[in-house]
Structure formats: C-alpha cells, structure tokens
Structure 1
Amino acid sequence: MKLEKVTEGKSPAPKRWYDDACGTALALEFLGERWSLLILRELMYGPRRFGEIKANLPGISANILTQRLDSMEAAGILMRRKLSSPANVQVYELTRWGQEAEPIIQVMGRWAARSKRHDPLAFMSTASAMQSLLTLVDHSALNKIEATVAFRFPDDSFIVRLERGEMSVVRGDVDAADVTFAGDTMAMRRTIYGKAGVNGEGLLSATGDPHVAGQFIDLFRLPEKIA
C-alpha cells in the first residue's frame, strides 16, 4: 500500500499538537482536551440537548462546552441536528465513528478505578452510571443470566439487556422488564457496588423477580486498588 500525506480539501488542516504518526497521538488531539471525553460519554446513549449535556458536567462553562462541541463536530466525532415538531430543538449526537470510541471510556475507567484517588461517591451522571455497568461487569458470569433490567432515575431511564453472554444498554423505558430498579445514581452505587441491598433508605427500590435482581447485582464489583 502506498503511503501518502493526507490533506483535507481546500481548507488547511488544524495545527497538530504532536509531530507523531502514532494513532494515539492523533486520538489525544481529538479527545485529549479537558471535558471532551466526558462529552463523548454523555452522548453515548443518544442525542442530548446543550442544556442536558451541561447539567451532567458540573463545572463546565457554556463557553467551553460550545468550544468542545464545535471542535468535536469539526473532527467528525459528533453532529448536530434539529428534532422535528413538536420538540423543535437542536441536539448533539455521536456519529457512527464517534460511537466506536466507547471501549476507550471503558478501558480508561476500569484502569483508573484501581487508583486510591478514585472517589466512588462523587457526582455521577446517569450516563456515567450506565457506562460503569458496562465497564465493571464480570464478563465470565454473563452467560449465567438472561434478563431485561430497567433503570428508572428521576430524569432518565435505561434498559439493560443480558442475553447470550452479552450485555447492552440503551436509553428508554420498558414495562415488561424482569426487574425494575428505581432511584438516583447514589442509590445505584450503594446497591450495585456497595452490596447494601434494595428497598431501603438511600438504596434502589426493586420490583419484579428478586432472584434476577440478586443475580444482576452480583455481576458487578469495583476493582481492587493498586498497592
């Protein structure tokens, strides 16, 4: 295969951070700026409005969020579109290529969670909570359970499906779930990772099959900390 220097149409390519052919160096240019990777995480489960993204990233300013969204759009990671009536609002969503970056979030999250500096009780968005399940699930045990599990947070809902040894997460709600968990993301962490039980103060409420609920909760563990 012939190697050639790539140029982007008539417009000059953005100035490179690193004079390095490694794909990792280029990935850092796309996602290495502060907030970029977290914006990617927030969009992983579907389109979000500007205000929804900002509300789930405490500390980010509207100006910085606008800059990051613009640069990620220019890179082809996300796109913006207007929802049809009656919503009629602009949303941001990942491109197919942007979606392919999900394993990066999971690998980095699993690696960093071993640090003693990891605070499992800090703020957690609903998207982050669901991403943590995909990151910290015991894959070797997934073939022991087939179920549909619903998560109902105060302002968001997700469906977790476990089948054929795989787990998937989508945003949405379903009435025919084997188990439905309800509560906020702090309750989710106490129940799922703290193994503190269900249907108590500060814990997730659980309706449906209690055996499936127990099997599901047992799939997840925080990793051991480094020495």
Structure 2
Amino acid sequence: MRGYDDPCAIARTLGLVGERWALLVVRELVFGPKRFSDLRRGLAGISENVLSQRLRELERAELVWRRRFAPSSTSAYELTERGRGLEPVLVAMSRWGADLPLPEGTDPALGVDALVFTLRATFDAGLAGGLDVVAHLRLGDDHFRVEVRDGRFRARRTEPDDAGITIATTAPILRSLVSAGGTLAKAERAGEITITGERAAAEHLLRCFPPPR
C-alpha cells in the first residue's frame, strides 16, 4: 500500500484507502455483503484485475473480509467492523462533493448502491420530522430495507420482507424523483414506479432528500 512517510492520521488513512477505487469498493459494501460479480456491476469502470487487487489490499488492511454463506456456500465480501467505521467518512465526502460539476463526458447515471448511499448522505431529518417508517425499496433486482426513525435514515441490502411499504422502481427514476424535479404522479402514470402500503408515509419518505444546490 502507498505510504507517505508522514505520521499524520490522515496520511496513515490514505495509506490504506487512498488508492484509486478503494473507497468506492467500500461504498459498495456499506449496505451489506456482495459477490465479486455484483461489485463489478456496481463499479462499471473497474477491471477484474484492479478489483481483485483492491479487495486483497482491503483484506490485508482488515477493512474487508470474505465469507461463505450457507446453504449454497456462495463467497461474498463484507466490511469488517473497522471497515464500517469508514461510513461517516464517505457520508461527509458525498455531502461535500454533491455540488461539484460532473467532469465532461461523465455518464450521470448512478449505480444502485451509489444512489442509496446518496440518499443516506442527503437525508434531511428536518424534512422527515416525526416520520417513523420501514419500507422495502426494490430497484430492479436489488432489494433494500429502508428505515427512518428518530430522525435517522438506515438502509441495508435484504431479501423482500414484511415492510409496511414497498416502493418498486429503477435507480434512474428514483433519482429523478428525489433530486431532479420528477413528479410521483407522472412516474406512476407511466408505470415507472409502484407503491404499495402506506402511501402517505411513502410520499413523505420521498420528500426527505433535498436536491443539490
């Protein structure tokens, strides 16, 4: 791993996660374990070799570990407790960079985990007020359990469950609704989103994410 010959804690942190793609790999694992193929899907610009190298480096740094899940013995990568400690760092970076312009030629589409992380970072407790809700968010083949309680937003990757609300859509449509001025009624008429369960709470949830300035 890169070293800076500097005892500062920032330099030591960058020595572990300062390589290109490293923090984005961490971002992809914030909401739960992912297989290698799923990590590649979420990081469209990374090669297999680079992803393998970053995962090895993060494992050596004890930020990520690989485990097998029964009964299929599927191998997946997961953040360690120390790795999860990077979440607030990523939240701060997401908030700081939200207003930066996109580099010319950059595809503006966000990956699924990048979008959910953006929701995590832009969640406004003031807009949530006393909202207390559990929702199942389905974005194509990706499922998340989203909870808003006591002014805090939590999300984790999960299988479909018994949440009181289900919001089924795609990442681009959800992004347009929460940050690009799209309207829920128009998306529903076009068949781009389906809401079941407590509709008023679902609408309130979608209003908790102010767009960038």
Task: Assess same fold via TM > 0.5.
Answer: yes
TM-score w.r.t. the length of structure 2 is 0.89
Contact 1:187/1:202 (8 A) holds in 2:
no
Q: 2:175 aligns with which of 189, 194, 206?
A: 189
Partner Cα separation in structure 2 for residue 32 and residue 54 of structure 1: 19
Summarize the alignment of residues 136-215 of structure 1 with structure 2, pairs less than 5 Å apart.
136-198=122-184, 199-201=188-190, 203-215=192-204
Q: What RMSD over aligned residues (CA atoms) do the two structures have, in Å? A: 2.1
Partner Cα separation in structure 1 for residue 20 and residue 193 of structure 2: 32
Q: Which amino acid aligns with 2:67?
A: R
Residue 174 of structure 1: CA displacement?
Answer: 4.7
Task: Show CA shifts across 1:123-179 (max 9, x none).
Answer: 322211211111001122334211112111111100111112222111124554333
Matched, 1:39 2:25: yes
Aligned equivalent of 1:95? 80
Q: 1:106 aligns with which of 62, 84, 91?
A: 91
Structure 1 alignment gaps of length 5 or more: 1-13
Contact 2:138/2:168 (8 A) holds in 1:
yes
Aligned equivalent of 2:55? 69
Partner Cα separation in structure 2 for residue 179 and residue 84 of structure 1: 29
Partner Cα separation in structure 2 for residue 63 and residue 201 of structure 1: 41
Residue 93 of structure 1: CA displacement?
Answer: 0.8
Matched, 1:223 2:212: yes
Structure number with greater Rg is 1
Partner Cα separation in structure 2 for residue 46 and residue 148 of structure 1: 17
Matched, 1:59 2:67: no
Contact 1:191/1:204 (8 A) holds in 2:
no
Matched, 1:78 2:67: no
Partner Cα separation in structure 1 for residue 19 and residue 133 of structure 2: 38
Partner Cα separation in structure 1 for residue 28 and residue 96 of structure 2: 20
Residue 202 of structure 1: CA displacement?
Answer: 7.2
Contact 1:121/1:186 (8 A) holds in 2:
no
After the TM superposition, list the runs of 4 or more consecutive aligned residues in structure 1 that deviate by more than 6 angstroms: 118-121
Partner Cα separation in structure 1 for residue 20 and residue 51 of structure 2: 10
Q: Percent identity?
A: 31
Structure-2 change in CA distance of 1:205 and 1:121 (3 Å): farther
Q: Which amino acid aligns with 2:24?
A: L
SS in 1 for 2:6: coil
Q: Which amino acid aligns with 2:85?
A: E
Residue 121 of structure 1: CA displacement?
Answer: 6.8
What is the aligned length?
209
Structure 2 alignment gaps of length 5 or more: none
Partner Cα separation in structure 1 for residue 178 and residue 148 of structure 2: 16
Greater helix proportion: 2
